[in-house]
Amino acid sequence: MLYLWLKAFHIVSVVCWFAGLFYLPRLFVYHAQSEDSISKERFSIMERKLYRGIMGPAMIATLIFGGWLIYLNPSIFSQGGWIHAKLILVVLLIGYHHMCGAQVKRFARGENTRSHVFYRWFNEVPVLLLLAIVILVVVKPF
């Protein structure tokens, strides 16, 4: 029963983390388009609060619950290569998360050099990672 509770909390944490990963780059799009200092300051505050208040804790919870699930079921590594591929994608996702954090700091310092078009493309990365991770977990293709 503990395993199912952990899995439920893992899924909720993933949903919260991805909500932030989808929304933060969208804020970057709007921030890159803003021209007045009031808007820029408002976006910096929103980005910082989203990154630190929601995304960070959700990522940590995702990793804790996921690690706990693996701890309780280490035989998952002998069920195929899908779990290895998923974990590699999770590492890439953590890297993307930290890239977002670096960008939050750049915007806060007024050092953004990228256009809103860049952030529109940047915003698609977590979509692709989510798609791949869900397919690996549900379909277990290998």
* Binding site as annotated, residues for heme: 10, 86
Binding residues: 10, 86
* Cα 101 from Cα 109, distance rounded (Å): 13
Q: How far apart are the first and last CA of the chain?
A: 27
The closest of 68, 52, 53, 66 to 14, measured between CA atoms, is 66
Strand (E) or helix (H) holding 132: helix 125-139
Chain-centre distance of CA 89, in angstroms?
11
Is 13 exposed, middle or buried, given 0-12, 13-18 or 19+ CB atoms closer than 10 A?
buried
* Cα 57 from Cα 36, distance rounded (Å): 31
Residue 18: both structure tokens together = 């991805």
